Amino acid sequence: MMRKLSLLFAGALMGASAMSLVYGAPGSAANAAGSETYKQLAIFGDIFERVRANYVTPPDDKSLVENAINGMLASLDPHSSYMNAEQAQDMRVQTKGEFGGLGIEVTMENDLVKVITPIDDTPAAKAGVLAGDYIAKIDGEEVRGLTLNDAVEKMRGPVNTPIKLTILRQGADKPIEVTVVRDIIKVKAVKYRVENDIGYMKITSFTEKTYDDLENAIETIKKQVPNDKLKGYVLDLRLNPGGLLDQAVSVSDAFLKRGEIVSTRGRDPKDVTRFDAKPKQVDDINGKPMIVLVNGGSASASEIVAGALQDLRRVTVVGTQSFGKGSVQTIIPLGENGALRLTTALYYTPSGKSIQGKGITPDIKVDQPLPPDLQGRDLTRGESDLKGHIKGADESKTGSGSAAYVPPDPKDDLQLIYAEQLLRGEKTDPSFPPNPDKAVLNQ
């Protein structure tokens, strides 16, 4: 029996990809290739050998093959690809939500790694790394010239192994060297706080820990604010590129009493899989009103949650058009721990609408102005802009996506402020509160 585990994988700026992990042989035999196909494969083999024998410098055979495979897959769509052992392992680390590392959130600035914040009670925080520090060297190697991913990969590693960082800090007259011993870093998938009489929850990605983190956030907020004082919740899915499908379904289920959450449809019209909420008398937030925030950085798993709650009229969606990543990739393990990521299906909201190339349209559009230092730069992100993307059934000339920017200071966050004003009754809109009796379902 073939075992499947469906998931959505976060994909940075390009959005996430819905995936199915497949163990064992494919369920159906592939169509036999015609004689012309084998002639083309023979040409490929001939070219491969001529490159190996005659290229001006000896090429790396492994690199040639990997690039050939990726060239084939890239011709299909932007999300099909081959993952070597290292890349496949990195995918597993991202979806697990914990890894051996230092415990810092970082970005790239002025060709150096800038520390956004050290995570509390992690090796970096204990070693004295501060927000705003610039990492200039990692184990004596200059950071300049490295990509952010390269630098992050160097800082991750086996638990209990040391790493030396050379830090540039404002006010320090010379570089600071610190030695940090790696430990297991558990990334919190849900950040939350209380805004007086409103519970705010931000899901950063859908990892194995997301639903548990969400439940903890809800219970903590309930303890901090009496039920009669709590106006409602804001669920922030902005800049969330996706994650595990089962977690997206569980998160949606937390706010629903019944109904379909999402369906996936493959090449065969009969290949339809539906995911439904568990029937119950009351949802996890006791039916309190909720606003969901989305923008151009909300993709795949986050679009599944927003689309389900919007179609079932459980929430009002505020913000700007989401990314529009609605295709499903199947992850097929290969030899030597590599894997093939192949687009095999599309997913649909409860109303039967395809997210692919369209995204989630908010009930209330609220634009977020860019700060002066970002004005003039195109921060728009959308599946419909990707070369070779699969055209969605509901895709139009308008396309998908919008600006992927959220101010670091909540005081400047117009989308969040608008959501809180709706919950407090300081603003009104026909879309809020939504009427569950008017749920839009696929008939």
Of 314, 296, 198, 343, the closest CA to residue 251 belongs to 314
Is 257 a known active-site residue?
no
Tokens 């430990």 locate to: 183
Catalytic residue among 81, 250, 300, 327: 300
- The two three-digit tokens of residue 127, written as one number: 């070693």
Spatial distance between the Cα atoms of 217 and 294, rounded to a whole number of angstroms: 20
Sign of the Cα pseudo-torsion (319, 324, 328, 329, in order) = negative
| CA distances, 383 to each of 25, 241, 291, 379 (Å) | 31, 12, 24, 13
Is 311 a known active-site residue?
yes
Of 323, 314, 304, 299, the closest CA to residue 248 belongs to 304
Of 313, 311, 318, the closest CA to residue 237 belongs to 318
Is 300 a known active-site residue?
yes
* Direct distance between the N- and C-terminal alpha carbons of the chain, in angstroms, rounded to an integer: 33
Catalytic residue among 137, 325, 353, 358: 325
- The two three-digit tokens of residue 113, written as one number: 């790694």
| CA distances, 124 to each of 109, 112, 243, 331 (Å) | 19, 17, 26, 34
Catalytic residue among 77, 253, 311, 363: 311
Q: What amino acid positions are annotated as catalytic residues?
A: 300, 311, 325
